[in-house]
Amino acid sequence: MNDLDPAASTLTAASHYSLACALCSARQRDDGLLLECKRDHPPALLRTEYKQQNFMPRLDKRGLSRYQDWLPSPRLRDDVGRTMVYRSSGLGNALRLPNLWIAFNGYWPERHADLETATFKELEAGAVLGRLPESGVFLALASSGNTGTAFAWACSRAESPCLIVVPERGLARFRFRGPLHPSVRIVSIEGGDYSDAIRLAATVAQIPPFQAEGGIKNVARRDGLGAVLLSAYDEMRCLPTHYFQAVGSGTGAVAAHEAAKRICAGRPGLTLPRLMLCQNWPFAPIYTAWRQRVNSDEGALREAGTRVYADELTNSAPPYEVAGGVYDSLVESAGDVLIAGNDSVRRAMSMFEELEGIDIEPAAGVAVACLREAVRQRRVDGDSVVLLNVTGGGRKRLGSKYLLVQAVPQRRITRQLRRDDETFRALADSFLGGYRCR
Ligand SMILES: [Zn+2]
């Protein structure tokens, strides 16, 4: 261990992990909020280092807390669900992949999948809230839809203050099994996109006591999402050779890679899965950066974002170059980036529902479409052990079982107002007033 921070030299019983910088290896004790290394150097992610070095699921737990020893979340709730993993016969037979495993994230009671907002973002929301100090933190975050719904529902159940900024078209996903607790506030941006939401949330997060959730920089977000791979290893008893996932920011894929490295560190001889990252063409900044070595033009991406089916993947500034980020994970895992167009995605969604018996989200359809194409191109074959991350599914099933309540934003603003700092401050103040009145 390089450059040990004396404060982190002794792991106490309450601290089952410490944080280490991906670039300079400096270690820090976590306060539940840290997002960056304190040293002056190019951007780099912090990583968790756990006292428990072997994969040791808590066998008496069914939900995410089964992996408590590898989550930086001392206050993780027992009611946070997790990924269900099974070996596919329907899609596996159709694609002639006898070793196709599905990591299903969503609602599917027959398979005991119980993520109530129907995507794997619930793993990150549960882990992030479980990491926060007990009180005094008002989370501010941006979402294109699924992250926001996961946080809204998790914060509502925990009665934690939270401000969520979402583009108007993402609001349709804000439907829940009951009304949200008043601690959860939603701002929608009329005519805005995900980039607008990110900018507004970042501005509000600078106004105390609001706190940026941090996106990929938040170790709890990554380790929560990485639990997909832990569930897979738990069920499969081996690591896949290929890991397919649709990506917007790529955080989930970086997280899966980190989780695989953690498993491999405790079991020499295992090989890291190849990351096969999937994007919905023409919105594909990670594909363009990886395959063509060029950065996408922001204006072109904004226009492309209006044309893709899987709008939850429209992150125009993915953490590609940050140390420990998407590029590094692709290189370390000998991975690749694939694309699928809208028609192919729609066909893949129908195919999955027909063969496996459950509806899936457009993002998951992107992964299925790219997997199908990878089989056709013989990038994977009958000898491959493939893990397909179905990042969201069962929303239709959830809607048929429960009368879902549509959440209404407390404030709607127009895109023209988004660069007006005074408007943001007034907005933040009005929310703080609301919290004080509770
Ligand atoms: Zn550092």
Span of 68-77, 231-240, 244-253, 293-302 with lowest mean pLDDT: 293-302
Integer Cα distance of 260 and 269 in angstroms: 13
- Whole-number Å distance, alpha carbon 37 to ligand 1 midpoint, is 5
- Whole-number Å distance, alpha carbon 305 to ligand 1 midpoint, is 34
Q: What is the pLDDT of residues 52-72, one digit of tens each?
A: 999 999 999 999 999 999 999
- Whole-number Å distance, alpha carbon 17 to ligand 1 midpoint, is 17
Q: Which residue has the tokens 């934690």?
A: 160
Q: Hey, what amino acid is at 295?
A: N
- Whole-number Å distance, alpha carbon 219 to ligand 1 midpoint, is 14
Q: Which two tokens stand for residue 204?
A: 């509000």
- Whole-number Å distance, alpha carbon 212 to ligand 1 midpoint, is 20
- Whole-number Å distance, alpha carbon 324 to ligand 1 midpoint, is 11
- Whole-number Å distance, alpha carbon 92 to ligand 1 midpoint, is 43
Average pLDDT, the chain: 91
Grade residue 315 by pLDDT with cuts at 50, 70 and 90: confident
Among 34-38, 134-138, 307-311, the range of highest mean pLDDT: 34-38
| pLDDT exceeds 70 at position 347 | yes
Question: Shortest CA distance to 285 belongs to which of 235, 251, 320?
Answer: 320
| pLDDT exceeds 70 at position 1 | no
Q: What percent of the chain has pLDDT over 70?
A: 92
Grade residue 49 by pLDDT with cuts at 50, 70 and 90: very high
Average pLDDT over residues 166-194: 92
- Whole-number Å distance, alpha carbon 86 to ligand 1 midpoint, is 39
- Whole-number Å distance, alpha carbon 42 to ligand 1 midpoint, is 8
Q: What is the pLDDT of residues 163-176, one digit of tens each?
A: 999 999 889 999 99
- Whole-number Å distance, alpha carbon 28 to ligand 1 midpoint, is 10
How far lies 78's CA from each of 68, 127, 150, 160, 255, in Å? 10, 11, 16, 16, 22
Residue 25 is predicted with a pLDDT of: 96
| pLDDT exceeds 70 at position 14 | no
- Whole-number Å distance, alpha carbon 420 to ligand 1 midpoint, is 34
Distance in Å from the first CA to the final CA of the chain: 47
Residue 192 is predicted with a pLDDT of: 86
Residue 431 is predicted with a pLDDT of: 66
How far lies 342's CA from each of 269, 312, 363, 432, in Å? 40, 13, 11, 42
Q: What is the pLDDT of residues 357-390, one digit of tens each?
A: 999 999 999 999 999 999 999 999 999 999 999 9
| pLDDT exceeds 60 at position 419 | no
- In sequence order, the 6+-apart residues with CB closer than 8 A to the CB of 359 are 349, 353, 393, 394, 395, 396, 397
- Whole-number Å distance, alpha carbon 49 to ligand 1 midpoint, is 14
- Whole-number Å distance, alpha carbon 12 to ligand 1 midpoint, is 23
- Whole-number Å distance, alpha carbon 321 to ligand 1 midpoint, is 15
- Whole-number Å distance, alpha carbon 43 to ligand 1 midpoint, is 8
- Whole-number Å distance, alpha carbon 323 to ligand 1 midpoint, is 10
- Whole-number Å distance, alpha carbon 23 to ligand 1 midpoint, is 5
- Whole-number Å distance, alpha carbon 44 to ligand 1 midpoint, is 7
β partners of residue 50: 17
Residue 144 is predicted with a pLDDT of: 82
The answer to whether residues 287 and 339 touch, using CB atoms and an 8 Å cutoff, is yes
- Whole-number Å distance, alpha carbon 262 to ligand 1 midpoint, is 20
- Whole-number Å distance, alpha carbon 285 to ligand 1 midpoint, is 27
Q: Where are the beta strands (DSSP E) in 10-150?
A: 17-21, 27-28, 46-50, 84-87, 100-108, 113-114, 138-142
- Whole-number Å distance, alpha carbon 40 to ligand 1 midpoint, is 7
- Whole-number Å distance, alpha carbon 1 to ligand 1 midpoint, is 13
- Whole-number Å distance, alpha carbon 381 to ligand 1 midpoint, is 41
Grade residue 351 by pLDDT with cuts at 50, 70 and 90: very high
Span of 56-60, 103-107, 210-214, 287-291 with lowest mean pLDDT: 210-214
Q: Which two tokens stand for residue 141?
A: 């975050």
- Whole-number Å distance, alpha carbon 24 to ligand 1 midpoint, is 4
